[in-house]
Amino acid sequence: MENLNQTWYLFQAILSRYQDFQYVFMLIPFVLFLELPLYFINWMSAFRYLIKDAIEAPLTLHYFPHVTCAITCYAEGKAVQSTVISLLEQIYPGHIEIIAMLDGVKKNQATFHALVELAPLVSQYPKRSLVIIPKFQRGGRVSSLNAGLSRARGEIFLALDGDTSFDNQMIHYAASHFWNPNIVAVTGPMRVRNARKTIMTRLQNLEYMLTMQVGKLGFAKLGVINNVPGAFGIFRKSFLQQVGGWNTGTAEDLDLTLRIKQYYKRYPHLQIEFEPGAVSHTDVPESFKDFLKQRLRWDGDLWYIYSNKHKHGISASMMGWKNLIFLLWYGILFQIVMPFSIVIYTIYIAVKLPLYAFILSMTLVYAFYFCLISVQYILYLIFITDRRKEDCNAIFILPVYPIFQFITRVWSALAILNQIINKGHLDSAMAPLWVLKKGKQ
């Protein structure tokens, strides 16, 4: 007890000596009790998977179901050919049906002709087929996905973007999970294809490593994966039909993931899996302006989904306690509350502290997050990545990454405000306005 008292008096002495910097300590309860445990739990789950994967003998299955790959196309032009070819060249002995849904074909003749040009090539691949669905009136991404679902003949349904490509064994790894009848969806790592283009793409590349790979791997193994990405989602078709396919509005991927989770209380055996070997490659915004425009939609859609479309479905009676706690902790606290907390905290200390103390305080905060990100990045290189040499290039952008995170969080708060005040989900390129208005307001 005496030692505790001495520690407390020492702490008070430090605060009185450095009174200007006491506001830095305001972060300690949040970081120590809410943020660090989330990283710790995620990494422990990832390590548990890696250990289990290393000691268990690989399961060899002769399970090759018919697969449908539905590609949503809008204005990709020749780029869509890379997506189709990467699916034709999959190392998978089962049949792969490729359905290309071209939204607004009258205005996107270049993409349509690029798809038609592939017909002779497709005929050279056994057990591969290409179906082109030209939608004359633009209805948006959701309309395209549901059109593909209604036409699909495969047992497994892949919802893919027209500007995304894949490793040759993606379908083999992903489809193998569906021998288990409890698996209803699978996703895998998304890698940044244009990572070396600009500083912005390099920053997003590191972000995808730590969130799309480490984050989803750990969360999936806990049974609480937060989202199946719209650009790369793999589903059991019968279950997709059971939940009614995709719903109108934007953020259709998060909407569908939450609707799947709302079956968990009634059917606790259902699972969404993450497959590290099912790798996709996508392009990210190359300019700061385009990045902000993308995140304005992404982050604003979070509020739209949580507060409008699913305000009655976020409950333990629907998704179970485990997923409810995780959604409140990660989805609400970190994605909604934390951006506003960061903005308010930064403004508060900027007003309360002298300039030198404010700069030093922000430097201390930067140093903490730089160390935290560096530790995660090193662990990722050692234990997670299968392309260590390629991913080592991200080390040069590491010092800038905490600043990137800070800007992203501040912008997230503005995006949520834009959604609350201006209904930002109605200003989206994902669908025409008349379609978005049919979603829940």
Residue 96 lies in a domain: yes
Helix ranges, 164-244 (H): 170-175, 199-208, 216-221, 237-242
Give the span between the Cα atoms of 70 and 10, in whole angstroms.
64
Given a contact cutoff of 8 angstroms between Cβ atoms, the answer to whether 334 and 326 are in contact is no
The pLDDT, as a whole number, for residue 40 is 94
The pLDDT, as a whole number, for residue 107 is 84
The pLDDT, as a whole number, for residue 158 is 97
Q: Which domain holds residue 227?
A: 67-287
Given a contact cutoff of 8 angstroms between Cβ atoms, the answer to whether 100 and 162 are in contact is yes
pLDDT-derived band at 349 (thresholds 50, 70, 90) equals confident
CB neighbourhood size of 9 (10 A): 10
The pLDDT, as a whole number, for residue 106 is 82
pLDDT, one tens digit per residue, over 198-221 is 999 999 999 999 998 999 999 999
pLDDT, one tens digit per residue, over 82-111 is 999 999 999 999 999 999 999 888 888 999
Q: Looking at the 3D structure of the chain, how many domains does it have? A: 1
CATH number (domain holding residue 122)? 3.90.550.10
16 pLDDT above the threshold of 60: no
The pLDDT, as a whole number, for residue 139 is 82
Give the span between the Cα atoms of 429 and 38, in whole angstroms.
33
63 pLDDT above the threshold of 80: yes
pLDDT-derived band at 64 (thresholds 50, 70, 90) equals very high
Given a contact cutoff of 8 angstroms between Cβ atoms, the answer to whether 77 and 113 are in contact is no
Residue 195 lies in a domain: yes
Residue 205 lies in a domain: yes
Residue 322 lies in a domain: no
CA dist 127 → 122, 279, 426 (Å): 10, 22, 41
Residue 86 lies in a domain: yes
pLDDT-derived band at 58 (thresholds 50, 70, 90) equals confident
pLDDT, one tens digit per residue, over 302-342 is 999 999 889 888 999 999 999 999 999 999 999 999 999 89
Share of residues in the chain with pLDDT > 70 (%): 90
The pLDDT, as a whole number, for residue 74 is 87
pLDDT-derived band at 430 (thresholds 50, 70, 90) equals low
Give the span between the Cα atoms of 247 and 149, in whole angstroms.
13
pLDDT-derived band at 128 (thresholds 50, 70, 90) equals very high
The pLDDT, as a whole number, for residue 85 is 96
Residue 58 lies in a domain: no
Residue 389 lies in a domain: no
pLDDT-derived band at 176 (thresholds 50, 70, 90) equals very high
The pLDDT, as a whole number, for residue 287 is 97
Give the span between the Cα atoms of 389 and 398, in whole angstroms.
16
Q: What residue has token string 């485990």?
A: 322
Give the amino acid at 402: P
Residue 40 lies in a domain: no
265-270's contacts with Cβ under 8 Å and 24+ in sequence apart are 265/316, 265/317, 265/318, 265/319, 265/320, 268/320, 269/182, 270/182, 270/184
CB neighbourhood size of 377 (10 A): 20
Share of residues in the chain with pLDDT > 90 (%): 70
Given a contact cutoff of 8 angstroms between Cβ atoms, the answer to whether 223 and 321 are in contact is no
pLDDT-derived band at 6 (thresholds 50, 70, 90) equals low
